[in-house]
Each structure stands twice: as C-alpha cells, then as structure tokens.
C-alpha cells in the first residue's frame, strides 16, 4: 500500500510501469507533508482513509 503526495504522481506511475505494474493503485494526498503540523497531517490521513480502505478492499 503506497501513499504519496500529488507532486510525485508522474514518478510513481512511471516506477509502477517500470516494474510491470501498469495501473498500480496508490493513494495521492495533497503536497506538502514535511511542513505540516500534526492536526493538518491527521486531517490529510482522514481524508485519504476511504481510498486506502478501497484499495485494500476493506469495508468499514
């Protein structure tokens, strides 16, 4: 399960292709992360949770 920020979308897709996983699903969150405070990180994680669970095929 991979999560990356939207600024690395192209690179992530290219890496997946290189390893033979065209269309590999991963979760994108807004950039940046390194300069966020904890509440903002928590908000980002909460916003991504549904997509993470969907990729993992887990239902709440």
Residue 10 lies near another protein (rule: CB under 8 A): yes
Radius of gyration of the chain (CA): 13
Nearer to another protein, 2 or 8 (CB): 8
Residue 43 lies near another protein (rule: CB under 8 A): no
Q: Which stretch binds another protein (CB under 8 A): 23-31, 33-41, 47-55?
A: 33-41
CA distance 11 to 4: 10
Q: Rule CB under 8 A: which residues touch another protein?
A: 8, 10-11, 14-15, 18-19, 34, 36-38, 41
């Amino acid at each position: 399960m991979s999560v990356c920020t939207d600024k690395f979308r192209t690179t992530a897709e290219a890496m997946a292709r290189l390893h033979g996983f065209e269309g590999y699903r991963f979760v994108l969150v807004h950039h940046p992360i390194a300069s966020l405070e904890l509440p903002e990180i928590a908000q980002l994680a909460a916003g991504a949770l549904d997509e993470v669970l969907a990729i993992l095929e887990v239902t709440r």
